[in-house]
Amino acid sequence: MHLKKHWKAACFFAVIMLPVLFYTLSKLEDEKAWLWLGAAVIAATLLFTAAADALPKSLQIIFTAAFPAIVFMLTESYTHMLSQMWTGPVWANLILYYLFFGVLLALTGWPALSMCLMILVCALAGLANYFVILFRSAPILPWDLGSFGVAMSVAGNFSYTLTVRACNVILLFMAAAALALKVDIRIRPKKKKYRAGALVLLVCLLAAFCRYVQTDDAADRFSMDKTLFTPKVMYRNNGLFLSFIVNTRYLHIEKPEGYSEEAALAAAQAADAVRSGDGEDALTEDEGIRPNIIVVMNEAFSDLRVLGDYETNKEVMPFIDSLSENTQKGYMYSSVLGGNTANTEYEFLTGSSLYWLPVGSVAYQQYLKDALPALPGQLSAQGYTSVAMHPYNASGWNRNRVYEYLGL
């Protein structure tokens, strides 16, 4: 009876694991050397599943205690080695994984089922993140959830290739599931209210910790990477789930005081009055004059003479100083320093202020999902053709998508 059940379970794992291995072999042209590990994992999993009964009690306890850490390691291994992560975020991730596992245990009262559910969630989330990085060189971000429908509509246009690493991670997840099914420990409290109380407590602890890791204090305490410029690197240093949760802090934008549709409409009407000549400050227009407009945004350029008088053996900016004819000069205040330079670009092109956005956010990556009134679009309406050039990759700061929304 038991032997028959074991062989059914072995066949179940074989039906899933073998196609993963063969699919990877069919897609890879080189670097297949480490697939022997995947084959060994499959063989060991099938033999263990078919031949073994439940694990010894001591091993069940050890495996259950180590299980969240194992799942954490496998989830991160889709895209990088665990050794590449920063130490502080590793501890924060472990707290998250153990709290989540505790919630599942309190909910089901059955460690084996809790383990399988956790494997399902983490394995699929890690695999989805792997493919998103493969397709766009950036991980899954909270604001991507709003574009889920669009992503699904174009999902068929991509080629899904598994690296040897990703293949082996999937197979190791399946091996962990096979081990989980050999755990027959059950949590049977004398009264259901005890388990319900534990569930409420653990959910509250998990929610509280998720809220805490979004604070600056947690970022400092766990030495997290806070560089939003490179989300792929930040996810590698901080971990998938921790980074995702931390980034949710940037989803909420508080409504400015006095902001309303009526106030915006009144401001628009006042601007129309100025343009049409109905206002006191009506604009005049020189018909047919369309001067070229060239904007150079140089993040390393600054006039250090604003800091005070000092002497140099050479002129600091002789060409800029020499400009006098048809020239206006002045100083600009920048909202950023030492990074997140795309935010200055956003402010200049749109006229919007970072004052209204959460501290640390990047408008290009988080908030621009549709067309937005901006200088390029407004100039295009007057007959201009706008061109943007940048020496970095087109995907930097999501510019390859955002520029279209701005009218470029």
The closest alpha carbon to 221, from 232, 211, 212, belongs to 212
Phi, psi of 239 (to 5 degrees): 100, 150
Task: Tell me the two tokens of residue 12.
Answer: 């179940």
CA 161 vs CA 1, 29, 53, 154, 167: distances in Å: 40, 11, 36, 16, 10
Secondary structure of the chain: what % helix, strand, coil (to 5)?
A: 60, 0, 40
CA 376 to chain centre: 28
Tokens 């050397």 locate to 33
Residue 391 is predicted with a pLDDT of 82
With b meaning 16 or more CB within 10 Å and e meaning fewer, what string describes 337-356? eeebbbbbbbbebbebebee
Stated as kind and residue range, the H or E segment containing 346 is helix 342-350
- Among residues 93, 90, 115, which one has the least CA distance to residue 102? 115
Query: Would you state the pLDDT for residue 98?
Result: 98
Question: Quick one: residue 114, left, alpha or beta (phi over 0 = left, psi -120 to 50 = alpha)?
Answer: alpha
Rounded CA separation 402/395 (Å): 10
What pLDDT sits at residue 29?
A: 60
User: H or E element: which one contains 10?
Assistant: helix 2-27
> What's the pLDDT score for residue 282?
47
State the angle between helix axes of 240-247 and 111-136 in degrees (0 to 180), rounded to the nearest 10.
70
Identify whether the C-beta of residue 173 lies closer than 8 Å to the C-beta of residue 123. yes
pLDDT of residue 1: 41
Helix boundaries (H) for 191-324? 192-212, 216-221, 231-238, 240-247, 261-276, 318-322
Low-confidence ranges of the chain (pLDDT < 50): 1, 279, 282-283
Using one digit for the tens of pLDDT, what is the confidence trace for 244-297? 999 888 877 777 788 888 888 888 888 777 766 654 554 455 556 788 888 888
* Cα–Cα–Cα angle for 210, 244, 217, rounded to 5 degrees: 50
CA distance 73 to 131: 18
CA distance 356 to 358: 7
Q: List the one residue out of 128, 22, 26, 40 whose CA is nearest residue 79.
A: 128
Distance in angstroms (rounded) separating the CA atoms of residues 269 and 324: 37
Return the H-helix or E-strand segment holding 328: none
Q: List all residues 6 or more positions away from 179 whose beta carbon is below 8 Å from its beta carbon.
A: 48, 55, 63
> For residue 339, which of 190, 234, 202, 185 has the smallest C-alpha distance?
234
Q: What is the DSSP-derived secondary structure letter of residue 279?
A: S
What pLDDT is attached to residue 190?
Answer: 62
Q: What is the mean pLDDT of the chain?
A: 84
Q: How many other C-beta atoms can be found within 10 angstroms of the C-beta atom of residue 80? A: 17
**pTM, entire model:** 0.73
